[in-house]
Amino acid sequence: METFSNFCIYHYKEIFSTNTEALDLIDKGIFDETVIIADKQTNGRGRTGKRWLSPEGNLYISFIINPVGKFSEFVFITAIAVGHTLLSLVDNLGVQYKWPNDILIDGKKISGVLIERKSYSNWLVIGVGINIVHAPLQESTCISNYCNPLSNMDLLTMLIINFNKLRKQWILNGFYDIRKAWLERAFKLNELISIKLADQLLSGIFTGIDTDGKLILKQENEDLVYFDTGELF
C-alpha cells in the first residue's frame, strides 16, 4: 500500500471489480480515504448492469471517500476531474460530458463513472474507467488515439490531483461552479434528445441540469420533465 495526496492506494494486478472490492472494504471497516486500482478486471461493472470490459492497459480505479454534502454531485465532480486530466494531456481535445456519467472525446466514449454506496454507510465508492490503449466497444475511443499513452499509475496521480482540486472548490463554493463547468461541455445541450427509462422513451430539448443535477427536458408542449436516471440518446 502507498499513499498519495492523503489517499491510501491499493494496487492489484487483477481483480474482480475495483468497485466490488471497495464496497467489501467498507464492510470490513475503513478509516482513511482510499483508492483501489487494478491493472485488469475480470468482472468490471458499468451502469444499469452492463459489463465494463477491462483488458490490461486501461485505467480501472475506485475512490472511497467520506464526503460532506450531496452524494449526487460527485458524478459531475468526477466527470470534470477526468475531463481536466484529459485536457492536461492534450490541449483542445473535444471533451464533452454526457449526462449522467460519461466522458466523450469527439462524440466517442473514453471514460465512465459508476458511483455506489451502502445504504448504512457514509462512505461513497466512485468507480472510474478510462480507456488508455484499448477502446473495447464500437463508438468508444482511447488516449493513445490522441497522444502517447501513459501508465495507469501516472494517470491516477493526475486524476487524484484534479479530483482533490475540484473537491476543494466544491467545498468552498458549492455546486454552482461545478454545474457551470459541466454545462460548458455538455453533450447535446440545447439539442433534441431522447431519454430512455426502463419502460418508456421521452423526447424533447435538453435545456440543462438543475441544482440537484437532474436533467431538464423540455417537451413539445413546453412541459419540463426532470430526470435523475435514464439513458440519453
Q: Which residue is nearest to ligand BTN (CB)?
A: 112
Strand order in the sheet with 2-4: 2-4, 7-12, 34-38, 59-65, 124-130, 108-117, 102-105, 95-98
Confirm or reject binding of residue 50 to ligand BTN (CB under 6 A). yes
Report the residue from 17, 78, 85, 131 that binds ligand BTN according to the rule CB under 6 A. 17
Nearer to ligand BTN, 61 or 95 (CB): 61
Confirm or reject binding of residue 83 to ligand BTN (CB under 6 A). no
Please provide residue 37's backbone torsions phi and psi, each rounded to the nearest 5 degrees.
Answer: -125, 140
The stretch among 4-12, 60-68, 203-211, 217-225 that binds ligand BTN (CB under 6 A) is 60-68
152 vs 18, 38, 54, 87, 161, CA distance in Å? 14, 9, 13, 16, 14
Confirm or reject binding of residue 46 to ligand BTN (CB under 6 A). yes
* Torsion of Cα atoms, 34 then 55 then 109 then 102, to 10°: -30
Task: Tell me the site size for ligand BTN, rule CB under 6 A.
Answer: 21
Q: Which residues bind ligand BTN (CB under 6 A)?
A: 17-19, 41, 44-47, 50, 52, 60-62, 101-102, 112-114, 127-129
